[in-house]
Amino acid sequence: MSKRKEYQKLVRKQIKEWNEELEKLQADVEKAGKDAGEEMHRQVERLEYKISHGEEKLEELTEATEDALDEIIEGLDTAWDSMKEAFQQAAEKFKD
């Protein structure tokens, strides 16, 4: 399997997992209702944005030329690190 296809598979799997985790967090916010607070709502919105950004990067990877592939993968790695951090922060805030 090519480097591109392997990375696409990995990215799709990770986006799916993040969407599933986001759905759980959204359910927690809805369950908390008014008690959820503005910060929890902002966290969910931030995660939605980051997932959307990851999907855009996946599209870039799909359309990238071989010459641009390494640069796109580097950008995805940066986006992934940011997403992991955002989910960790959200999880900590939701546990409080």
Task: Give mean pLDDT in consecutive 10-residue pieces for the chain, a chain of 96 residues.
Answer: 85 91 86 76 87 87 85 84 84 71
Residue-range definition of the domain harbouring residue 91? 1-9+40-96
Instruction: With respect to residue 85, please indicate whether it lies within any of the assigned structural domains.
Output: yes
Instruction: With respect to residue 96, please indicate whether it lies within any of the assigned structural domains.
Output: yes
Instruction: With respect to residue 28, please indicate whether it lies within any of the assigned structural domains.
Output: no
Q: What is the pLDDT of residue 13?
A: 92
- Residues constituting the chain: 96
Instruction: With respect to residue 20, please indicate whether it lies within any of the assigned structural domains.
Output: no
Instruction: With respect to residue 24, please indicate whether it lies within any of the assigned structural domains.
Output: no
Contact 49, 10 (CB under 8 A): no
**What is the value of pTM for the model shown?**
0.78
Q: What angle do CA 6, 44, 26 make, to 5 degrees?
A: 95
Q: What is the pLDDT of residue 96?
A: 59
Instruction: With respect to residue 31, please indicate whether it lies within any of the assigned structural domains.
Output: no
Instruction: With respect to residue 95, please indicate whether it lies within any of the assigned structural domains.
Output: yes
Indicate the number of domains in the chain: 1
